[in-house]
Amino acid sequence: MKINKKYISAFVAMLFAVPVMAQVPTPAPKQSKPVLLKGATLHVGNGTVVENAAVGFDKGKITYAGPQAGANLSGYEVVDVTGQHIYPGLIQPNATLGLNEISSVRATLDQREVGEMNPHVRSVIAYNTDSDIIPTIRTNGVLLTQVTPVGGTISGTSSIVQLDAWNWEDAIVKADGGLHLNWPYMLISTGNSAQDARLARMKAQREQALTELAALFRDAAVYKAGKHENENLKLAATAGLFDGSKKLYIHANYGKEIVEAVNFAKEHGVKDIVVVGARDAVAVADFLKANNVSVIYSGVHALPSRAEEDVDMPYKTPYLLHKAGVPFALDYDLSIHGIRNLPFIAGTAAAYGLDKEQALAAVTLNTAKILGVDKQTGSVEVGKDATLVVSSGDLLDMRTNNVTHAFIQGRKLDLNNKQKYLYEKFDNKYKNEQKTPSGVTTSAGN
């Protein structure tokens, strides 16, 4: 059959006329030449602020961070960011980002494994670098996350990844650094006989879970101490808990649960403990400090846990933890889509007691220390990864946050994303609809 060439030409023209839907930007290539940002205010992440600063980096590592007057510009591509602010890339702990795309579509969910005791499950191998959500997170300055499994009593191990990579292997900053334990809920009698009968069954299930958990930890300690012909993956995955090479992240909120869980871990020889969630952390702050336990606090933008608490208790908890001397980081846990709001929960903490640099540290250097990656990232210091952002306004203020540049290990990121594309698409649509064919602007009602 003979096809008319004019139809082919028309079809090709039509294809090129259709706007291309924004996709996940292509990962940036490795840094090819030294770059120096000059003229901005530098927020190091450790409390230090440098006015009229410069930051230089080469081959993905920071080579200079300090006053602009002391920088050697020779050999650097100089980027003038005068009047702006340089910050470390923000770090989101305890997230299913890359494991959970669309909650109503089962095929896109890979954050949970079958079973209750899964210490050998590695969440990072399911991490999807092509998630549409990731570019929307980077836009507000969040450049790293802790990929965390959920469900069961022991969910599995988490890994730290950077948010610009072709695959999960390239994304890894620290693999399998911690084991996640969901401490069984304590149950309180209500005085209602029907409800208490149900509670009795749940208490029996809780006791069974604690018994199995104790047995697993005892077996793990024995396994680590001996030699074995056949490897037991579940027990081998827990070995690092007893020599401090792997952290135990205990997910608990109620004060008595926190104390019970930490005592359990200590009794079984766990060296490095972090409590995640920790809504009641202030109530047990002395206990946490005495036992050298860090906290990932998840409730800044939440309601108070109890009716008798101050209405602003979640907002001021970070300040109270800081005042009590408990090491802590902040976690945006309301939804993976909302992780882009991580800088703003730090801003809320700053409005309720913390100073701005302490609040910044709670989503950068403090988080890096708790996750065990502070020698590599978390602050803008010489020798660390050039993972940083530049904002024309205050990064922690939702009114002025405007990230103009972002770099991961020296690679300049494309900050476009699906939400920006849709905003521009419909902004143009309604602007055009306000015009008559002659180009004269009319009111929206016409």
Q: Is 76 exposed, middle or buried (0-12, 13-18, 19+ CB in 10 A)?
A: buried
CB atoms within 10 A of CB 307: 5
Contacts for 58 with CB less than 8 Å, ≥ 6 apart: 31, 33, 34, 35, 410
- The distance in angstroms from the start CA to the end CA of the chain is 51
User: Both tokens of residue 110?
Assistant: 């890979």
**pLDDT for 17:** 39
DSSP 27: P
Residue ranges of domains in the chain, CATH in brackets:
19-89+380-415 (2.30.40.10), 91-377 (3.20.20.140), 417-446 (no CATH)
Average pLDDT over residues 231-242: 91
Give the integer Cα–Cα distance in Å for 326 and 106. Answer: 39
Given CA atoms 248, 253, 254, 255 in this order, what sign does their dihedral have?
A: positive
Q: What is the DSSP string of 210-270?
A: HHHHHHHHHHHHHHHHS--SS--HHHHHTGGGGTTSSEEEEEE-SHHHHHHHHHHHHHTT-
Is residue 19 over pLDDT 50? no
Q: What is the DSSP string of 40-57?
A: EEEE-SSS-EEEEEEEEE
**pLDDT for 21:** 45
Is residue 204 over pLDDT 90? no
Is residue 235 over pLDDT 70? yes
Which backbone phi and psi does 314 adopt, to 5 degrees? -60, -35
Rg over CA atoms, the chain: 25
Report helix, strand or coil for 31.
coil
DSSP 153: S
Q: What's the chain's average pLDDT?
A: 89
Left, alpha or beta for 383 (phi > 0: left; psi -120 to 50: alpha)?
left
**pLDDT for 246:** 94
**pLDDT for 14:** 43
Strands 411-412 and 388-391: unpaired
Count the residues in the chain.
446
**pLDDT for 403:** 96
pLDDT digits (tens, 9 = 90+) for 168-185: 999 999 999 999 999 998
Range with the lowest mean pLDDT among 94-103, 146-155, 159-168, 380-389?
Answer: 94-103
Chain position carrying tokens 């009319």: 442
Range with the lowest mean pLDDT among 4-13, 149-158, 261-270, 307-316?
Answer: 4-13
pLDDT band at 288 (very low <50, low <70, confident <90, very high): very high
**pLDDT for 365:** 98
Chain position carrying tokens 């006989």: 193
**pLDDT for 107:** 81
pLDDT band at 277 (very low <50, low <70, confident <90, very high): very high
pLDDT digits (tens, 9 = 90+) for 362-373: 999 999 999 999
Cβ atoms of 102 and 59 within 8 Å: the answer is no
For every residue of 103-152, which 3-state class applies, written as one string? CCCHHHECCECCCCECCCCEHHHHCCCCCCHHHHHHCCCEEEEEECCECC
pLDDT digits (tens, 9 = 90+) for 406-441: 999 999 999 998 888 888 889 888 888 877 565 555
Considering only residues 160 and 433, tell me which one the structure prediction assigns the higher pLDDT: 160
User: Both tokens of residue 196?
Assistant: 């208490």
pLDDT band at 145 (very low <50, low <70, confident <90, very high): very high
Beta-bridge mates of residue 276: 251, 296
Report helix, strand or coil for 365.
helix
Give the integer Cα–Cα distance in Å for 266 and 272. Answer: 9
Average pLDDT over residues 185-207: 77
Is residue 20 over pLDDT 70? no
Left, alpha or beta for 173 (phi > 0: left; psi -120 to 50: alpha)?
alpha
Report helix, strand or coil for 101.
coil
CB atoms within 10 A of CB 260: 17
**pLDDT for 363:** 97
pLDDT band at 189 (very low <50, low <70, confident <90, very high): low
Chain position carrying tokens 């022991």: 154
**pLDDT for 438:** 56
Give the integer Cα–Cα distance in Å for 100 and 109. Answer: 5
Give the integer Cα–Cα distance in Å for 364 and 374. Answer: 9
Average pLDDT over residues 60-67: 96
**pLDDT for 203:** 87
Strands 90-95 and 142-147: parallel
pLDDT digits (tens, 9 = 90+) for 78-132: 999 999 999 999 999 999 999 988 878 888 888 888 889 999 999 999 999 999 9
pTM of the model: 0.89
